[in-house]
A and B are shown apart, each in its own frame.
Chain A
Amino acid sequence: MSLKIYQLNEEFRDVVPQEIVALQENATWGNPKRGVMDLPVSKELLEEHSLCAGCPESAALRYILASLPNPEDTIIVNSTGCSSLMFPHIALHTVHSLFGNQNSVASGIKRVLEWRFPDKVKDVVVLAGDGATVDIGLDYTLQSFFRQEKITTICFDNEVYANTGGQESGLTPKGMVFKMAPKGKQFEKVPMWQLAIDSGCHYVARLTVSSPKRVEKVIKEAIYVARELGPTYIHLYTPCILEIGLNSDDGLDEMRARDKERFKFFEYKTPEAEEVIAKYKEEGLL
């Protein structure tokens, strides 16, 4: 039933925008093996975006949307910030509610969808920035982990409040100078991936988005584990090239540099998560 909602009414085919026709004819629906390799040849679920040229966050979102195993039955909950500018352009159900309450809204949605559709798989994915996830929304993020909500939480960490003009966040490294920290940040970067582990996540990954295929792998693993077990958390470095003074073609180099230090690839899986991942590998879905 779900896939039908993305199908065109044939009588309107000649009048709807080309992008909508392409969404039906050349997007990847109903195929859990879809992935980032489809990007050059298929219609993306993100039509366009209003982020800065070369913004790594836009690349991250494209890789994530290409990697969702079940886009036709995936709900995305987002929050306020740069990322909220992209969500209106996505061909999926997305919710923007308030700043910081994304994991609470996602908890309500996931539980009700399990109640209303016990025989269907409905994935709920949270996508929010570092301010939303770790500062204003930390309580709600962690509490959703404690409660073992079956949702995947993805943090776009650009280490700064970018949309409001470049203020220090809890994920800014110590010593970095931003607005509201004119003498440099006074405390360490919050180790959110560790908090996620301690709070009960079954799968945790920390990485930059320099490698699209690696992003695809962690997204799929995190979503499958969340489906079967409980909360999963992905921490992505998506630098704000504007706020750290880089050019629009510098984002990839910046991420590759951080791949070697504070965003070195890190992955945590509970033994139960390993079993889930092994099962999906056997089914050829990973």
Chain B
Amino acid sequence: MSSLVNKETKEQKNRAGQRIVSPDYLLFEAPREKHFMTGSEAVKEAVKRATVDASVSYPITPQSEAAHLIGELWAEGYVGVYFRGENEFGVMSEVAGCALAGARTITTTSGPGTMRAMENFPMWSGTRIPVQLVLMARGINAPLTIQPDNLEVSFLLDTGCMIWYAENVQELFDMILAGFVVAEQPDVHVPVITAVDGFFVSHTREAIYLPPDDIALPPYDPYKAPMPVIDAEVPPGRFLRDPFVMKSNYISYATHASWQWEVRAAIERSRPYAKHYLKGLIEEFGDKDAEIVFVAVGTAAAQAKEAVRMLEAEEGIKAKVVKLKTVRPFPYQELIEATKNAKYIFVPEFNVVGWLEREVRKALYKKSDAEIIGTPRVAGGMTMPKEIIVKEVLEIIPARR
């Protein structure tokens, strides 16, 4: 830690020469300037201000540009270690090695890359490394597709990683910075997957407000981690854990079970930090007491907001959107509170299985009398125009009355 801080200057600087500021200052207080950029460029701007030690990359559409730009930051001296791995299974293992050795580490992937890397994600959480994965969601083969579709997120729900979902370019920037801060809390210290919809966010140029780039997050302090860092500067840590885990007896079973519980408990302990740094686990939009509620993540939430405006303006129907910013931890209490007047809950999604609808049903079971309607659902790269959402509402609700 001390080696990362220049003691000769009054102000503390990171290795890239940026002034170290508190997370609160960087996220909430620093003056911001308006820019116009894509989600991939926003990833670069966030990493540039995050005092990142290491990143490993691999090409896959649509996340490649974000990964290139992190490489440019490495070439410019803002990132300590960077290289292209051999495939996503290798990359996620290389990233694990970086984090085990005490680095603040980030990587990016999409769709088939996520599936190839899958064995690594529960290993990340089980070894309690606060890696950040920026996931730019894309469809899964077969048939081959490169288009936006967030089915892959359903496979990640039970990996023991935190899962956050950004709606737009601005939120992606802020979430990446907040992601490191929350994931690295000693009582949390699990990975964070920051998801966005591929293309819709990664490739769309939007207005974004950025703090100056000569300030950055405090460096990661691996000596505050709940597991010993693998750098031979502290007494040895054992990631297979002690022999009793690897034996066939009741204590070993109980140890493994409690270890898994503890990973989930760590995600639960992230709630207060995430609430603070994300300004709440959900965002509400529209008429507070509306009977028609859209529960959504990412771009689907953005489209639902447009549908709320259209329903109000053209049909005189009041509706609201409850956007979930975190899926793990799942904002149960917030969702129950935000839907207490709901009669119809629509869950618009960019996938065919309706994983968010399942999550919402589970959360509201016996907590809400509202009908939960898993529509509209688009996939394979289709867009979700506001007219489609409005049409669903206008067709379904009269039929129920």
Q: Give chain A's interface residues, CB within 8 Å of chain B.
A: 1-2, 5-6, 50, 72-75, 77-78, 84-85, 87-98, 101, 104-113, 115-117, 122, 139-140, 143, 147
A117 to B234, CA, bound (A): 14
Q: Which of B72-94 touch A at CB < 8 Å?
A: 80-81, 83, 85-87, 89-91, 93-94
Closest CB in chain A relative to B185 CB, distance in Å = 21
Question: Chain B nearest CB: distance from A85 CB in Å?
Answer: 6
> B231 and A104: CB pair below 8 A?
no
Residue of A nearest to B240 (CB): A96
Give the residue among A1, A91, A113 with the most B Cβ atoms within 10 A: A113
Cβ of A107 to closest chain B Cβ, rounded Å: 5
Decide if A88 touches B241 in the complex (CB within 8 Å).
yes
Q: Which residues of A contact B95 (CB under 8 A)?
A: 108
- The answer on a CB contact under 8 Å between B80 and A112 is yes
Query: Using a Cβ–Cβ cut-off of 8 Å, how many residues does chain B contribute to the interface with A?
Result: 45
**How far apart sit A217 and B87, CA to CA, in the bound complex (Å)?**
35
For chain B residues 110-158, which have a beta carbon within 8 Å of chain A? 119-120, 123, 127
Closest 8 CB pairs of A and B: A108-B97, A104-B93, A101-B93, A112-B101, A96-B240, A108-B98, A105-B97, A143-B86
For B56, the chain A residues whose CB sits under 8 A away are 108
Neighbouring A residues of B166 by C-beta, 8 Å:
none
Tell me if B236 is interfacial: C-beta within 8 Å of chain A. Answer: yes
B398 in the interface, Cβ–Cβ < 8 Å? no
Q: A85-B246, A98-B120 are in contact. Are A115 and B80 (CB under 8 A)?
A: yes
Q: Among B53, B83, B96, B238, which residue has its beta carbon within 8 angstroms of that of A88?
A: B238
**Is there an interface contact between B246 and A116, defined as CB atoms closer than 8 Å?**
no
Query: Which of chain B's residues has its CB closest to A49's CB?
Result: B243
Question: How many whole Å from A180's CB to the nearest CB in chain B?
Answer: 21
Chain A residues with Cβ below 8 Å from B120 are 98, 101
Question: Which one of B91, B100, B231 contacts A117 once the chains associate, using CB atoms below 8 Å?
Answer: B231
Check B97 against A107 for contact (C-beta < 8 Å): yes
Establish whether residues A112 and B81, one from each chain, have CB atoms under 8 Å apart when the complex forms: yes
**How far apart sit A75 and B228, CA to CA, in the bound complex (Å)?**
13
A105 x B94 contact (CB < 8 A):
yes
The residues of A that contact B245 with a CB separation of less than 8 Å are 88
B316 CB-CB contact with A under 8 Å: no
A262 vs B235: C-alpha distance when bound (angstroms): 41
CB of A112 within 8 A of CB of B54, answer yes
Are A2 and B238 within 8 A (Cβ)? no
B123 touches A111 (CB 8 A): no
Chain A residues with CB below 8 A from B101, complex form: 75, 108-109, 112-113, 116
Contact: B93 with A98, CB < 8 Å? yes
Asked whether, in the complex, the Cβ of B233 is within 8 Å of the Cβ of A108, the reply is no
B103 on interface, CB distance cutoff 8 Å: yes
Chain B residue contacts of A94, Cβ below 8 A: 236, 238-240
Chain B residue with Cβ nearest A5: B235
- B residues sitting closer than 8 Å to A (CB atoms) are 3, 53-54, 56, 80-81, 83, 85-87, 89-91, 93-103, 119-120, 123, 127, 228, 230-243, 245-246
Point out the residues of chain A lying under 8 angstroms from B97, CB to CB: 77, 95, 97, 104-112
Partner of A96, one of B53, B80, B239: B239
CB distance from B293 to the nearest CB of A (A): 42
Main secondary structure of the interface of A (DSSP, over half): helix
**In the complex, A115 Cα to B103 Cα: how many Å?**
9
Look across to chain A and name the residue whose beta carbon is closest to the beta carbon of B124.
A97
- What's the minimum C-beta distance from B75 to chain A, rounded to whole angstroms? 15
**A116 and B102 contact, Cβ closer than 8 Å, known pairs A101-B89, A139-B87:** yes
Q: Considering the chains assembled together, what is the distance between the CA atoms of A92 and B93 in angstroms? A: 21
Say whether A87 contacts B240, CB under 8 Å: yes
B54 in contact with A115 (CB, 8 Å): yes
Ordered by A's residue number, 24 sampled pairs between the chains whose C-beta atoms are within 8 Å are A5-B235, A5-B236, A73-B232, A75-B230, A84-B246, A88-B243, A93-B236, A94-B239, A95-B100, A98-B120, A98-B123, A101-B89, A101-B96, A104-B85, A104-B86, A104-B90, A104-B91, A108-B56, A108-B101, A111-B81, A112-B81, A112-B98, A116-B102, A147-B83
Report chain B residues within 8 Å CB of A6: 235
Chain A positions within 8 Å of B102 at CB level: 112, 116
Taking each of B87, B94, B228, which has the highest tally of chain A beta carbons within 10 Å of its own beta carbon?
A: B94
Judging by beta carbons under 8 Å apart, are A116 and B3 in contact? yes
CA distance A72 to B232 in the complex (A): 7
- Separation of A74 and B231 alpha carbons in the complex (Å): 9
Please determine whether A5 and B233 come into contact, CB atoms closer than 8 angstroms: yes
Q: Which residues of the partner chain A approach B53 to less than 8 Å between Cβ atoms?
A: 112, 115-116
Residue in A closest to B83 when the chains form the complex, CB atoms = A147
Q: How far is the CA of A97 from the CA of B241 in the complex (A)?
A: 11
A88 touches B240 (CB 8 A): yes
**Which single residue of chain B is at the shortest CB-CB distance from A6?**
B235
A87 CB contacts on chain B under 8 angstroms: 238, 240
A74 vs chain B, min Cβ distance (A): 7
B216 to chain A, nearest CB (A): 17
Q: Which A residues touch B243, using CB under 8 A?
A: 50, 85, 88-89
